[in-house]
Amino acid sequence: MKIAMIGSGAAGSVFAAYLRRGGADMYLVDKYKAHMDKIASDGLTFRCKGEECVLTGFHTSPTATELPVMDIVILMVKATQTDGVMPEVMHCVGDHTVVVSLQNGIGNDEILMKYVPRTRIMYGAGVIGTELAGPGCCVSKPEDGIQMFFGAVEKSPETDEAGKYLEECFERGGCHASFEDDVRVLLWKKAVTNSGYNAVCAVTRMRLHFAMDNEWGMKVLMNVWKEGCAVAKALGVGDIWPLIEGDIANLRANLGDYYPSMAQDAVLHHRQTEIEVLNGAIAMYGERLGIPTPYNSVLADLIRCIQANYDNQYGEANG
């Protein structure tokens, strides 16, 4: 099957590397020209747990409009960019193409329903820390256990075929994947966990283990997670707190030295974050359902304030 990765930065490149190692025909789309050029000429250097390999055979493009019709299209742009890229993505979406959101956050499936029928939409996420070490070089920092999960919005022959193929390719590529009948529990578990460490590390400007090893940092993390679990339960997703609580040690061991993507966006790159589909989404659902979410609400507001004032932050330029 031909698979397009729309958004081939750190996470998109890592996911594509696993799929390519598993035998998939991969088309990478990204506007980072130096990265695409390096992969086209020399292949993609893939680092994971101290090992390194170079993967070749990728097709690269700055835009989806240059691609043929795909069997599977995976979205890895930031969730806030989905509406902006979908018009050009539709050039490579045919009558049987399955569109898959592996983006961070909650509500990505609802956005895709504006463009593609429910029966050809899948959604999920990876439990993997990722970094782009430079053009043509990506780094994977996977947790133990299931590292990639996804499921259909509404089961169909197309989603069954695509889901099984993705699961097989990820597994052959060294990423433990699971094609789920009901992906909501795992998706909410990932989104709530993400909301904790992404927002806290972005506000404190620290790597995860510093926040987790501090009494006050861990207090904030725990309250963010518990609020998210209460919202998930009220939505009928189920009780995800045992899953999150049981994974705290694993999170510290595998992602402790990780500088999360929201921290990279807010501190290093001064760009829009994914706060609206993480803490912002938890707070929004909490307000709708009458569930108090003070920690998520305040963190969401703080990140909104930060990303609206990059040019006004204290530093040499601003005194």
Average pLDDT for residues 207-233, to the nearest whole number?
97
The confidence band for 262, taking pLDDT boundaries of 50, 70 and 90, is: very high
* Model confidence at 23: pLDDT above 60: yes
Classify burial at 100, counting beta carbons within 10 Å of its beta carbon; exposed 0-12, middle 13-18, buried 19 or more.
buried
Half-sphere exposure of 35 (CA within 13 A, CB side): 18
Give DSSP secondary structure letters for 80-107: GGHHHHHHHHGGGEEEEEEEEE--SSS-
Q: For position 127, what pLDDT does the model report?
A: 85
User: Which tokens hold the place of 185?
Assistant: 């529990």
Q: For residue 241, how many other CB atoms are within 10 A of its CB?
A: 17
Comparing 314 with 162, which gets the higher pLDDT?
162
Q: For position 317, what pLDDT does the model report?
A: 55
**Segment among 90-99, 196-205, 234-243, 253-262 with least mean pLDDT:** 253-262
Q: For position 17, what pLDDT does the model report?
A: 98
Comparing 149 with 127, which gets the higher pLDDT?
149
* Model confidence at 149: pLDDT above 60: yes
pLDDT per position as a tens digit, 32-62: 999 999 999 999 999 999 999 999 999 999 9
The confidence band for 289, taking pLDDT boundaries of 50, 70 and 90, is: very high
* Model confidence at 122: pLDDT above 60: yes
Running DSSP on this structure, what letter comes out for residue 300? Answer: H
Domains, the chain, with CATH or none: 2-181 (3.40.50.720), 185-312 (1.10.1040.10)
* Model confidence at 313: pLDDT above 60: yes
- Residue 54: strand pairing partners: 45
The confidence band for 215, taking pLDDT boundaries of 50, 70 and 90, is: very high
* Model confidence at 143: pLDDT above 80: no
Strand, helix or coil for residue 243: helix
Classify burial at 114, counting beta carbons within 10 Å of its beta carbon; exposed 0-12, middle 13-18, buried 19 or more.
exposed
Average pLDDT, the chain: 94
Q: Distance between alpha carbon 8 and the CA centroid of its chain, in Å?
A: 12
User: Which tokens hold the place of 212?
Assistant: 């987790």
Q: For position 58, what pLDDT does the model report?
A: 98
* Model confidence at 318: pLDDT above 80: no
* Model confidence at 315: pLDDT above 80: no
pLDDT per position as a tens digit, 107-120: 899 899 999 999 99
The amino acid occupying position 249 is A
- Residue 25: strand pairing partners: 2
Q: Which residues contact 216 (CB under 8 A, 6 or more apart)?
A: none
* Model confidence at 145: pLDDT above 90: no
Average pLDDT for residues 198-221, to the nearest whole number?
96
Comparing 78 with 16, which gets the higher pLDDT?
16
Classify burial at 56, counting beta carbons within 10 Å of its beta carbon; exposed 0-12, middle 13-18, buried 19 or more.
exposed
Q: Give the span between the Cα atoms of 148 and 124, in whole angstroms.
A: 8
Strand, helix or coil for residue 148: strand
* Model confidence at 316: pLDDT above 60: no
Cβ atoms of 42 and 136 closer than 8 Å: yes
The confidence band for 319, taking pLDDT boundaries of 50, 70 and 90, is: very low
Q: For position 261, what pLDDT does the model report?
A: 86
Running DSSP on this structure, what letter comes out for residue 31? Answer: S
